[in-house]
Amino acid sequence: MTALKNDRFLRALLKQPVDVTPVWMMRQAGRYLPEYRASRAKAGDFMSLMQSPEFACEVTLQPLDRYPLDAAILFSDILTIPDAMGQGLYFETGEGPRFRKVIETAADVAALPVTDPDADLGYVMDAVRTIRSALNGRVPLIGFAGSPWTLATYMVEGGTSKDFRKIKAMMYDQPEVMHALLDKLAQSVTAYLNGQIRNGAQAVQIFDTWGGNLSSVAYLEFSLAYMKRIVDGLIREHDGRPVPVILFTKNGGLWLESMAGTGADALGLDWTCDIGDARRRVGDRVALQGNMDPSALYARPEMIRREVARILESYGHGEGHVFNLGHGITPQVDPANAGAFIEAVHELSAQYHTTA
C-alpha cells in the first residue's frame, strides 16, 4: 500500500508526538456541503448513494478537497448490518431510517443470520478499497460501525425513538432475548470491522449513539460489555502498522474510566464532557477525541476560534488529542465556518506540541 503522507491522526490516537493536533469531523461528508447534495441528487436517494462504491468514494473525498483534514471517514451508515440481516432498511423523508421488519420475539432473534462482510456487505468492502486507492496515501481512512446496543435499538424500535420503550421493555423483561440479539450483532460488527480493516481502513470507530440513554448498570451490561467483546476480536495490526480503535458513546461521560478499560486506543467525547477533566480521569490509558459542540459552528469565525482555543487549553500540552466535534456536523452549517474551525485547530494547537 502507498505510504501515508499525513499520519498525524494515527500518531495522535497512539499518543505519539505530532506537530499539531489532528482534526476531522463526524459527518464531514454530508448535507452541509453543496457538492454532497449534488452527488446525492445524481445518485437518486441516500441508499443508492451509500451502496455505490463510486459515489461513496466521491462524497468521502469531497470534504478533503475543501479542507486540510487529517483523516477521511468511509461514507456509509451504521445500519448496513441490520439491513444485511434482512430487516429492510429504508429512509422516510423527514422521518429518518426505518425498517420493514421489527424484532419482537426470541424467534425473530433466532432467525437472524450473523453477517459475512464479503458475502453480505460487499458494496461496503468495495467502497473501502476504492476510497483507499483514491486517497493514495493523502490521509488515513477511518472505518466504522454502530455498537450492538445502538443497532439493536433501531431493530427493535423499527427506527428512531423518543422514549426507547420497546427496546428497554425487552431488556428488562426478556434479558436473555436481548443478550441473544446483542451477541449476534457483536459477532457481525466484529467481522464487519475486520473486513474493513483487511480492505484498507487504517483506524476504526464504534458509534454507540444510544448507550447514553441507559442506566449505569444497564450500560455496562448491555452496551459496554459487547463493545469490549468487539475490541477484543479486532485486527489490531495491518499493513505493518497498528490499527487504532475509537469508542464513542454519546452522553457517555459517566463511564469514561470503564470505557478506558476496554482495550480501545481512544475514546470519543461529546460536548457535555470537559476534555481536561476527562484527561485527568483516564490518565494515559487512552487518547481522547473531541469535543466541540457542533452548534458552535453557527457562530462567527472569531467565536469559533475562541471555542477551539478553550478546548485546546483545557486538554493542555502533550499528545493523545484528536480534535473533533462532540457529534456530527449539522446540515445548516456554513461550509466557510467549518473551514475556519479546521484552520483554528491547526494554527492554535502547535504551541501544545513540542516535537514532531
Establish whether 154 is a catalytic residue.
Answer: yes
d(CA 350, CA 339): 18
Q: How many beta carbons lie within 10 A of that of residue 16, not counting itself?
A: 15
Q: Kindly name the residue from 32, 154, 226, 315 that is annotated as catalytic.
A: 154
Could you give the angle at the alpha carbon of 12 between the alpha carbons of 8 and 15, nearest 5°? Answer: 140
User: Is residue 262 within 8 Å of 227, Cβ to Cβ?
Assistant: yes
Catalytic residue among 8, 11, 27, 132: 27
CB count within 10 Å of CB 88 equals 12
Residue 129 annotated in ligand binding: no
The whole-angstrom separation of Cα 62 and Cα 85 is: 30
Can you point out the beta strands (E) in 27-88? 72-73
Active site residue 77: yes
Mode of pairing for the β-strands spanning 89-92 and 96-99: antiparallel
Tell me whether residue 29 is annotated as binding: yes
Instruction: Say if residue 306 carries a ligand binding annotation.
Output: no
> Would you say 30 is a known binding-site residue?
yes
Choosing from 8, 40, 98, 305, the catalytic residue is 40
* Residue 123 annotated in ligand binding: no
7, 32, 70, 77: the active-site residue: 77
Q: Is 298 annotated as a binding residue?
A: no
Q: Is 317 annotated as a binding residue?
A: no
Are 101 and 145 spatial neighbours (Cβ–Cβ below 8 Å)? no
- Check if 298 is active-site: no
Q: Is 31 a catalytic residue?
A: yes
Annotation marks residue 27 as catalytic: yes
- Among 31, 229, 281, 306, the one annotated catalytic: 31
Query: Per the annotation, where are the binding residues for substrate?
Result: 27-31, 77, 154, 209, 327
The residues carrying an active-site annotation are 27, 31, 40, 77, 154
Binding site, by residue number, is 27-31, 77, 154, 209, 327
